[in-house]
Amino acid sequence: MKAGIIVVILFLLFLLSWDIYSSSGIFIFILVLINFFKKTNSHIAFKEWTLLLYALNYLLSPAISLHLEQDKITYLMKLNAEQYYTLMIPGFFCFYWGMNSIKTNLFITNFNIIKIYSFLNEKILKQLFWLGIGLKLIQSFLPGELGFFIFVLSMVRFIGAFALYAVNARKYFHWLVFVLLLEVLQAFVIGMYHDMTMWLAFFFIFYIYIRKPSLKWKIGFSLISIIAILFIQSLKQVYRAATWSGDQEASLSTAIDIAENNTNVENLTGEANLLSTLTRSNQAWIFASTVDHMDRYKDFQGLTNVILYTEAALLPRFLAPDKIQSGDKVIFNKFSGHTINEGTSMGLGIFADGYIAYGAWGVAIFGFALGLLFSITFKVVENWTQISPFFMLFLFPILNYAVRPDCETQTTINHLVKSMFIYWLLVVAYRRYFSQKLMVLKKQGLA
């Protein structure tokens, strides 16, 4: 009740100073944020986290950008608040409805399994952990689709570490620290922070569910996370300039030196860093630019691009040698109203692809379709938990890229389809293992 009163008051305050469309976007974001905090203890808040990411990128950040002075914004919104939010708010709700269209108990999976299953699961989880670590060490040496296969499979190291921590926190805490620290160190050395951020977020969603911390703890951690994001954003540009185009070596010592010289309150909370962070969290400007471009040229594509994306996801390169590649900028440059080179990482996103296909209706249709695709994935993974409850965690690597609002639709489909297949193979293998081991234990009178 108190949270609801606060939301209404905030909505009225924004409405007094801003327009009703931007205020509505912020109002919805606050509701999503409150729901995320409320649900984290009762179940694994994966859906709520996904909605929060989309609300941040498509509802909150554009509202702020629309009300800042234009000379402060790197990428201007090419739609006004009314034009933008009358498209995006229905699209966002359709995404929400799609993601909740199939009932699932996946996110309240019970990890308190009986002793016999605990023994079998613990052995499997150790195997997954070391398999993932081994594959992590060799993945960079493997080319093309084989490298991608190994990359996806190597993420089982997180599954093993998370689940072992749930089985025995004291015994396996150092395993968890090792795998997360490895990811953090790699992120700072190569200057790419997406994977690190997502895996840390996934772990704390999982941690909150199994440990049930207080609301004060969650708010405190959220504040620390915001400071960490501002720190990374302030470090990122300087580090990349020094190592990517400069003469310094990409290494942990270089990252530490740059952090020591650039970490202060002024850099973290200064206008430049705040605006840079806002730009990074605003996928909406690409959507707005795409809408503006399509409205001028009326070159709507129907399902043409979706067919190209699906072909790239389902067909191997030897059957479709001309299929588009992940990171290919041709479609982005053709429909977004902007031209970027191969060294720049930007994606249209699901809502922009929807508008390219069918205009305003496409935003709602594609939003619902993506949510439905996630919902189907939840149900499939739920069936896997009948073998082992810890297979619920396969959801994290499967949707690791798909839930990112800045991810290209092509990459979303490609990663989701191939990851589902790879982890299905693991499930099939371990189903047979469980069956054989349980049979032996029953003969021994232990089960």
pLDDT in tens, 340-363: 766 667 778 899 999 999 999 999
pLDDT for the residue 14: 66
Task: Map 227-264 to HEC letters.
Answer: HHHHHHHHHHHHHHHHHCCCCCCCCHHHHHHHHHHHCC
- pLDDT range class, residue 47, cuts 50, 70, 90: very high
- pLDDT range class, residue 446, cuts 50, 70, 90: very low
Mean pLDDT (whole number) for 115-135: 78
pLDDT for the residue 242: 77
pLDDT for the residue 87: 95
List all residues 6 or more positions away from 29 whose beta carbon is below 8 Å from its beta carbon.
55, 56, 59, 60
Q: 125 exposed, middle or buried (CB, 10 Å; 0-12, 13-18, 19+)?
A: buried
On the question of pLDDT at 116 being above 50, the answer is: no
pLDDT for the residue 259: 75
List all residues 6 or more positions away from 74 whose beta carbon is below 8 Å from its beta carbon.
275, 276, 279
Mean pLDDT (whole number) for 255-282: 76
Mean pLDDT (whole number) for 120-140: 85
On the question of pLDDT at 429 being above 80, the answer is: yes
pLDDT top residue among 239 and 211: 211
What is the per-residue DSSP string for 25-64? HHHHHHHHHHHHHHHTTTS--HHHHHHHHHHIIIIIHHHH
Query: Residue 397: which of 228, 148, 172, 178 has the closest Cα?
Result: 148
Which of 119-123, 369-373, 408-412 is the most confident on average? 369-373
Which of 15-29, 55-69, 253-267, 425-439 is the most confident on average? 55-69
Mean pLDDT (whole number) for 144-151: 80
End-to-end CA distance of the chain: 49
Rounded percentage of the chain residues whose pLDDT exceeds 90:
31
Which of 65-79, 250-264, 304-318 is the most confident on average? 65-79
Distances (CA, A) of 70 to 6, 56, 66: 31, 20, 8
On the question of pLDDT at 442 being above 60, the answer is: no
pLDDT for the residue 115: 46
Average pLDDT, the chain: 83
